[in-house]
Amino acid sequence: MTVTTELWARGAAITRSLVPRPRAEHGRSPSVVGGVPPAAIVRCRSVEQVVTGLGIARRSGLRVRVGCAGHGDGGVASRGAGPLVIDLCAVGEVAVDARARTARVGAAASFAAVDAATAAHGLGEPRLVGAEIVTADGLVRRVGPESDPDLFAALLGGGTGLGTVTRVDLALRPRRVGRRPHPGLDVLTAVADRRALTGRERERREIVRRAYDPEGLFAPV
């Protein structure tokens, strides 16, 4: 069974939002790495669909590229074929709990959307306190300072190749006038800690990446 055929079969059983067949955009096939079109595109609306897509990629020997979210991979090399693209563009909801001063945000949400939603409650200055991520082994992990702290620290530092982030949890503070990240950024990139890393920190992050993705499913170019 080809990747496309298997995705169509599974998509029919799960949801029609799984769209596996690469299709032309404005008359051209989607280009991912070096002009190579993807083997398949999985348009996900739920974490379960992400798990399904990653499972098919593993069984088919394909690497994965994540689209419409701040995973920062910049494209993924393929193993002799185009990668499987996990398209998260539909996962961009923003839910604000004004009383708790928190927000739960889909990974594809732009910072502009988060800024607008939190400003409506007089809140801002989002800080990453947790995330939902599907790692290469297909496990859904909810990470934070007390749960998978090494993986959370790598995400907080803008780490790449760690998995597919589907949701981020933000702590908020009363809004004040001040410098904010560029509104064009996705939320995961905007709230990441962008300070320069020491050599030891970079080494530690690479150890974490290899621990959670030993086969290089998300390996960057």
What pLDDT, in 10s, does the model give residues 8-53? 444 433 333 334 444 444 333 344 444 567 778 888 889 999 999 9
- Residue with the larger pLDDT of the pair 176 and 172: 172
The confidence band for 197, taking pLDDT boundaries of 50, 70 and 90, is low
Tokens of 179: 């410098």
CA 85 to chain centre: 11
pLDDT value at residue 73: 42
Q: Is the predicted pLDDT of residue 172 greater than 90, yes or no? A: yes
Which residue has better confidence, 203 or 19? 203
The fold adopted by the segment(s) 3-87 is 3.30.43
Specify burial of residue 141 (Cβ count, 10 A radius: 0-12, 13-18, 19+).
middle
pLDDT at position 77: 37
pLDDT at 23: 43
Summarize pLDDT for 73-121 with one digit per residue, the tens: 444 333 445 788 888 888 899 999 999 999 999 988 988 899 999 999 9
188 or 33, which is more confident: 188
Query: What confidence score (pLDDT) does residue 201 get?
Result: 74
Q: How far apart are CA 97 and CA 138, in angstroms?
A: 30
| pLDDT of 17 | 37
Q: Considering the chain, tell me which residue range(s) the CATH 3.30.43 domain(s) occupy.
A: 3-87
CA distance 123 to 78: 43
Q: What are phi and psi of 186, to 5 degrees?
A: -75, 160
Residues 6+ apart with CB under 8 A from 58: 136, 138, 215, 217
| Contacts of residue 23, Cβ cutoff 8 Å, sequence gap at least 6 | 29, 30, 41
Torsion angle of C-alpha atoms 210, 212, 214, 215, degrees rounded to 10: -130
Domain with CATH 3.30.465.10 in the chain: 94-212
Tokens of 88: 């998260």
Could you give the CA distance from residue 81 to residue 208 in angstroms, rounded to a whole number? 27
For residue 150, pLDDT over 70 is answered with yes
Find all residues with CB under 8 Å of 6, minimum gap 6, and list them: 56, 60
Tokens read off for 67: 């689209």
Percent of the chain with pLDDT over 90: 30
CATH fold, domain 94-212, is: 3.30.465
User: What phi-psi label fits residue 126: left (phi over 0), alpha (psi between -120 and 50 degrees) or beta?
Assistant: beta
pLDDT at residue 126 above 50?
Answer: yes
- The residue-averaged pLDDT of 159-186 equals 79
> What's the whole-number average pLDDT of the chain?
76
Where does the pLDDT of residue 133 fall: very low under 50, low under 70, confident under 90, or very high at 90 and above? very high
Identify the helix (H) or strand (E) that includes residue 168.
Answer: strand 164-174
> Residue 196: what pLDDT?
57
Asked if residue 29 lies in contact with residue 40, where contact means CB atoms within 8 angstroms, the answer is no
